[in-house]
């Protein structure tokens, strides 16, 4: 299944609860969600915020999304494990419903996944960047990324895995609200922290300061949010 609809979900967890959430998710919520018709693409610890858990899943289309969510959240696995999952959570409202950006890279299929019970984290790091276009300027932000930002970052060691924009169709699964604001989201992969540091050096260079940054300031209503993500042991997306 090649997803055309994606969810990016960032959960605020109770202090000290992230490892319990990751253990539960990797053990109980990967194959069981996929059996309902969705692709579990990646689960991540957000570096720098020990109370954040980030994950992504994909669906063949909007109709498949609704059907898969109804099957999973109305099924026995969620009924059994929902209390334990909710016990780790403070807030799950930071969720985006996305579609592939026009002329952007196509998100790769899920890679090999470690077997249940794996303990060692998957290799590499990912950087997820969310830009916040002023309404009506979304196409300009996408074009700026395609024409100026992506070529600049291609000079560094990272790989641009995917680019998405907000899916404008109404959310048709009310139990899981999604944010309605316009966004442009990219995901990059790095082998390790030194590779990521090289990419961040490109971000801070003269071209960015003199040209790209001022253009983004005009097109976006708030600064970009960048999440540095470490894949969990069973994440299908990883840095290498």
SS3 for 89-118 is EEEEEEEEEEEECCCCCCCCCCCCCCCCCC
User: What pLDDT score does 6 carry?
Assistant: 97
User: What pLDDT score does 209 carry?
Assistant: 86
Say what angle helices 76-88 and 62-73 make with each other, to 10 degrees: 80
Q: What is d(CA 236, CA 234) in angstroms, rounded to the nearest whole number?
A: 6
Tell whether 114 is covered by a domain: no
This prediction has a pTM of: 0.93
Range of the domain at 153: 5-108+121-231
Considering its fold, how many domains does the chain have in total?
1
Tell whether 202 is covered by a domain: yes
Q: What is d(CA 229, CA 69) in angstroms, rounded to the nearest whole number?
A: 25
Tell whether 181 is covered by a domain: yes
Q: Say how many CA atoms lie within 13 Å of 78 toward its Cβ.
A: 11
Tell whether 196 is covered by a domain: yes
Which residue from 53, 48, 41, 39 is spatially nearest to 85, judged by alpha carbons?
Answer: 53
What's the CATH code of the domain at 209?
Answer: 3.30.70.100
Tell whether 101 is covered by a domain: yes
Tell whether 236 is covered by a domain: no
Strand partners, 222: 132
- Specify burial of residue 67 (Cβ count, 10 A radius: 0-12, 13-18, 19+): middle
Per-residue pLDDT of the chain (240 residues; tens, 9 = 90+): 789 999 999 999 999 999 999 999 999 999 999 999 999 999 999 999 999 999 999 999 999 999 999 999 999 999 999 999 999 999 999 999 999 998 888 888 877 788 887 777 667 899 999 999 999 999 999 999 999 999 988 888 889 999 999 999 999 999 999 999 999 999 999 988 888 888 887 776 788 888 999 999 999 999 999 999 999 999 999 876
Tell whether 116 is covered by a domain: no
Tell whether 239 is covered by a domain: no
User: How many residues does the structure list for the chain?
Assistant: 240
């Amino acid at each position: 299944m090649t997803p055309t609809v994606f969810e990016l979900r960032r959960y605020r967890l109770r202090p000290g609860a992230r490892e319990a959430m990751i253990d539960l998710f990797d053990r109980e919520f990967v194959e069981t969600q996929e059996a309902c018709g969705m692709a579990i693409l990646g689960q991540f610890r957000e570096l720098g915020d020990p109370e954040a858990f980030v994950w992504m899943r994909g669906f063949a289309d909007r109709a498949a999304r609704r059907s898969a969510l109804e099957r999973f959240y109305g099924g026995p696995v969620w009924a059994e494990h929902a209390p334990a999952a909710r016990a780790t959570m403070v807030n799950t409202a930071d969720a985006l419903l996305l579609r592939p950006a026009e002329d952007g890279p196509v998100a790769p299929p899920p890679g090999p996944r470690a077997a249940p019970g794996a303990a060692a984290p998957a290799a590499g790091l990912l950087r997820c960047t969310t830009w916040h276009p002023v309404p009506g300027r979304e196409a300009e932000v996408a074009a700026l990324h395609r024409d100026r930002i992506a070529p600049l970052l291609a000079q560094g060691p990272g790989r641009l895995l995917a680019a998405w924009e907000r899916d404008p169709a109404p959310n048709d699964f009310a139990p899981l609200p999604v944010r309605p604001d316009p966004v442009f989201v990219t995901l990059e992969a790095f082998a390790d922290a030194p590779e990521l540091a090289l990419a961040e050096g490109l971000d801070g260079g003269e071209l960015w300061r003199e040209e790209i940054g001022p253009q983004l300031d005009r097109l976006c209503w708030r600064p970009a949010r960048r999440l540095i993500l470490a894949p969990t042991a069973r994440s299908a997306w990883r840095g290498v």
